[in-house]
Structures are given as structure tokens and as C-alpha cells.
Structure 1
Amino acid sequence: MLQPVTRRFPRADAAVPEARSFLRQVLAEWNITDRFDDALYCLSELATNAIVHGGAGGEHFDVQVTFTDSRLRIEVRDLAGRRPSMQSPDPDDTTGRGLLIVDALADGWGVEPCVPRGKTVWTEFKIDTEQDLPAGVSPC
């Protein structure tokens, strides 16, 4: 069983590419290639939300990655109590589409409160763990 991996990031714009790099490294170590781009994109959205809406006094956010039962779960925890919600942006709006995209790409997502404060926004992906076998080779 793979152990969950967690890393803390500062609430700064540069943390989004750092969080993506962290996820790339974890997925490479775990040899997960299925849904790779979807997972990276959703993490970018959730990390951006943590930076923009992470709450006063919250100087960081945490990213945790777990893989169990063929499901990849990415969690982003910040110190803000306000729950995110999907928006209905107008075509000319430049923001408000992040959770719509997460909802479209992921197999599930949600929000859980944290004690004593904050929240965790998570997203999950069903991962195909079967390896493609070379032609003519059958599993034992």
C-alpha cells in the first residue's frame, strides 16, 4: 500500500507550479500515468483557490496525495472556513470557472471542514492500474 504524501506550500503565486511539480514527482514515483493531465489541472485550480481565497492569516496551504483502491485523491487544505461553490460566470468573466472545470474533469470532488478551522477541498480520479501487455503476451 502506498503511503499518503503531504507537502506544505506558501500562499504565493509561485506555489501553483511548485504544487504541480510535487504532484508530477509523486505520480512518477507511483508509476501513475492514467489521468495525469486531469489531476495536474485540477490541482492547479484547487491550489489557486487556496491562494486567492485561503483566508486572512493563512500563510500556507497543504497538498496531500493518496492512492488506494485504484483511486487517486488530491486534497488541498487551507485555513479559510468559507466553502467554495461552483459559479455561473458570464462569457466575458475572467474568473469563476475553476470548480466547473474540476467538476468536469474529476470523478468526484467535495469539501470537508477542518478542526479547529479551515477546510479541505478534495478531488478524486479512478485510475486504470492494468498495464498494457506486449502483443502475444497473456497474463498468468
Structure 2
Amino acid sequence: MPRPVAHRFPRADAAVPEARSFLRQVLADWNISDRLDDALNCLSELATNAVVHAGASAGHFDVEVGFLDGCLRIEVRDLSRQTPTRKSPDADDPTGRGLLIVDALSDGWGVEPCVRGGKTVWTEFKIEAEQGLSAGVSPW
């Protein structure tokens, strides 16, 4: 099993594609291609929420990626205590669909408060058993 990996990103619009690139590289290193597009899209939504809604005092957000027992878990931590909620946007609303997308594409998601403040929003994906990890990948 690979060790979880994490990276800190500045709270800026450019951080969202950088977070996607980070996840794409981690999954390539782990030889995981199953559900790649779903994972990248969900990370985009969670990272965008961290950039847009975390508040002015939150200068960064963290992304952690882990894989255990056939489950890929992506976590986005920010310093805001505001809990994200699924919306029910009208067809004309330009925003409000992020968590609906995460709910539709992932096998689960949730929000947990962080001990030191802020929150972690996570999403999980079941990965097909035939996906193999690269030789020499370190255990947790």
C-alpha cells in the first residue's frame, strides 16, 4: 500500500489546476488509472470550494491522497469552520452544483472538523482490484 501524500496549495484560482496535476501525478506513481476522471473532477470541486468559500483568513488549503484496501481517499483541508452543504440550484443558477457533482461521481463523501480548526472535506472511490501498484511502493 502506498503512503498517503499531501501537498499545500495557496488559496488562489491557479491552485485548482495545480491540485489536479498533483493528484494526476500521485495516481500515475501509484499506477492507478481506474476512476481517474471522477477523482480529478471531485478534487476540482472540493479545491474550488476551499478557494471560494474558505474566507479571507485562510491563505492555503491542503490536499491529502491515500489508498487502502481498494479505496482511494482524497481529502481537502482548509481553515474555515463553515460546513459545505449540497444545494438545490435552479437551472439558471450559475453555481451551487459542486457537491452534487461530488455526490454523483464518488462512492462517498463527508465533512469532518479538524482538531486545530477548520475542516476536512473528503471523498472516496472504490478502485478495481486489477489496478496494481507500482513495484517498490512503500507501505502506509
Structure 1 length normalisation: TM-score? 0.92
Report what 1:8 is aligned to.
8
Report what 2:107 is aligned to.
107
**1:35-54 correspondence runs (5 A):** 35-54=35-54
Asked if the contact 1:55/1:81 (under 8 Å) is kept, the reply is no
- Structure 1 counterpart SS, 2:3: coil
Give the distance between the partners of 2:25 and 2:127, measured in 1 at CA.
17
Report what 2:69 is aligned to.
69
2:32 aligned partner, one-letter code:
I
Structure 1 outlier segments of 4+, above 3 Å = none
- Structure 1 counterpart SS, 2:17: helix
Give the distance between the partners of 1:56 and 1:79, measured in 2 at CA.
10
**1:1-140 correspondence runs (5 A):** 1-130=1-130
Report what 2:136 is aligned to.
none
How many residue pairs get matched?
A: 132
- Structure 2 counterpart SS, 1:109: strand
Asked if the contact 1:58/1:79 (under 8 Å) is kept, the reply is yes
Q: Per-residue deviation at 1:129?
A: 2.7
1:32 aligned partner, one-letter code:
I
- Structure 1 counterpart SS, 2:9: strand
Report what 2:137 is aligned to.
none
- Structure 1 counterpart SS, 2:49: helix
Give the distance between the partners of 1:90 and 1:19, measured in 2 at CA.
29
Q: Over residues 101-140 of structure 1, what are the superposed CA-to-partner deviations in whole Å (9 max), with x where a residue is unaligned?
A: 0000000000000022100000000000315xxxxxxxxx
Which deviates more, 50-59 or 100-109?
A: 50-59
Give ranges in structure 1 of 5+ residues lacking alignment: 132-140
Structure 2 length normalisation: TM-score? 0.92
2:124 aligned partner, one-letter code:
E
Q: Percent identity?
A: 76
Kindly indicate whether structure 1 or structure 2 has the higher relative contact order, using CA contacts under 8 Å at least 6 residues apart.
2
